[in-house]
Amino acid sequence: MTTSQDPKEYIRRVAVDAEGNRIGKITKVYRDDETGQPRWLLVETGLFGTRQSFAPIHGSRFDGEQLVVLAVSKDQVKDAPNIDTDAHISESEKDALRRYYSGSLGTAEGDQR
C-alpha cells in the first residue's frame, strides 16, 4: 500500500472509493495535533464541489493520479458529519468523525486521539 506523509501529495488529487466511484477532489489535509501525522482529508463533494466532507486518510493508497480511499465508501463520505473546515479540528469534532467512521477505521485509527 503506497501512502505519503507529505500532505502536499494529496492536494488536488481525485478521491475515489474502492469500487472506483468518484468521491471528489481533495482540498486539504489535517494532521494529528500530537504526532503530526496526516489523519483526515477534506474532499469537495457534490455536483459542483459545493460541499466539503472529511474522510479518514487511514487505509488509503495512491493509484496513479487518483487517491483511492479504501476504508470508506462514497456514500459514507457524502453523509459524514458537518465539521467546520477551519485550520484546526477540535477534540469534539474528531470524536464525532471517529464515531461516524468507527466501523470502517478499525482500531488502529479509531483509538488514536
56: CATH: 3.90.50.10
Encode 59-71: b = buried (16+ Cβ within 10 Å), e = exposed.
bbeeeeebbbbbb
- Residue position matching grid coordinates 477532489: 25
| Per-residue cell: 61 | 493508497
The tally of domains found in the chain comes to 1
| Local confidence band at 106 (pLDDT 50, 70, 90 cut-offs) | low
Q: Considering the chain, what is the average pLDDT of its residues?
A: 83
Q: Would residue 75 count as lying in a domain?
A: yes
Residues in the chain: 113
Q: pLDDT confidence of 103, banded at 50, 70, 90?
A: confident
Which pLDDT value is given to residue 105? 63
CA distance 47 to 23: 10
pLDDT score for 1: 44
Residue 111's pLDDT is 39
Segments forming the whole domain that contains residue 76 = 7-105
Q: Looking at residue 49, what is its pLDDT? A: 61
In a domain, 51, yes or no: yes
Is residue 111 included in any domain, yes or no?
Answer: no
What does pTM read for this prediction? 0.81
Task: With respect to residue 56, please indicate whether it lies within any of the assigned structural domains.
Answer: yes
In a domain, 2, yes or no: no
SS3 assignment for 41-63: EEEEECCCCCEEEEEECCCEEEE
Query: CA-to-CA distance for 30 and 87, rounded, in angstroms?
Result: 8
Who has greater pLDDT, 50 or 3? 50
